[in-house]
Homo-oligomer: A and B are copies of this chain.
Amino acid sequence: MAEGLRERKKRQTRQHLSDVATGLFVERGFDAVTIAEIAQAADVSVNTVYNYFPAKEDLFLDRSRGIVDRLSRYVRGREERESAADAVLRELRIQVEGVSPTVGLMDGYARFMRVIEGADSLKARLWHIGQEAQLHLEVTLREEAGAEPGDRAPVLVAGQLSWVHSTLMAYIGGEMVAGRGTDEVSRDALVLLDDMEDLLGEKVLNYARRAAT
């Protein structure tokens, strides 16, 4: 399927806008940059910016939206004998151990996080994304566990696993902002994951365990 000229240009424009905006935000802070400046720097009109991004926050968090189904994917892809929690913990450990950018373990993540820390509206948006992710996971768990409509376990387990994820991300973000190196933070984050696993209840750890074949 050939991709038309129009589609390609749109994707480029979108990416360009996000890049230009992110650059300015990192340099001067979220609130100190106006949409008008971004439009000018990207050589388009203000209205065009709004054609691509519904709000200023989306210019910065465009990529972060990719994590809404991360936990769901981990759960769906769990292996034999693995529970939902096992899969989530295992996958997170893989990312952390691999010093993966997907969990914020990259140079430059500190600059990214500092922008967020400086703007409440960005924190709020990030929380909103987390909520979507939790809801997504809830649905997934309900399906994967074959839960009855009235069963509240999926909601609670989703809440627990979301907590693990957000706590991990908050920890990594905080340490990176504090100026520590990716390898160091990776090691400590693994300990944190151990601590959290140790804190979870049996019911959570065993939920939706997949049978052996």
Residues in B with CB closer than 8 Å to A200 are: 201
Q: Does A187 contact B (CB under 8 A)?
A: no
Given the known interface contacts A128-B120, A128-B124, A159-B163, the answer about A198 and B196 at a Cβ–Cβ threshold of 8 Å is: no
Q: How extensive is the interface on chain A, given as a class?
A: 20 to 34
Residues in B with CB closer than 8 Å to A124 are: 121, 124, 127-128
Could you tell me if B195 and A156 are in contact, using CB atoms closer than 8 angstroms? yes
Q: Does A204 contact B (CB under 8 A)?
A: yes
Could you tell me if B127 and A192 are in contact, using CB atoms closer than 8 angstroms? no
Task: For chain A, residues 183 to 213, give those with C-beta under 8 angstroms from any C-beta of chain B.
Answer: 192, 195-196, 198-204
Could you tell me if B156 and A196 are in contact, using CB atoms closer than 8 angstroms? yes
Give 1 or 0 for each of A112-151: 1 = CB within 8 Å of chain B CB.
0000000011011001100000000000000000000000
Closest to A162 in B: B163
Closest to A191 in B: B152
Could you tell me if B167 and A199 are in contact, using CB atoms closer than 8 angstroms? no
**Measuring CB to CB, which residues of chain A are less than 8 angstroms from any residue of chain B?**
120-121, 123-124, 127-128, 152-153, 155-157, 159-160, 163, 167, 192, 195-196, 198-204
Nearest 3 CB-CB pairings of A with B = A124-B124, A201-B201, A199-B201
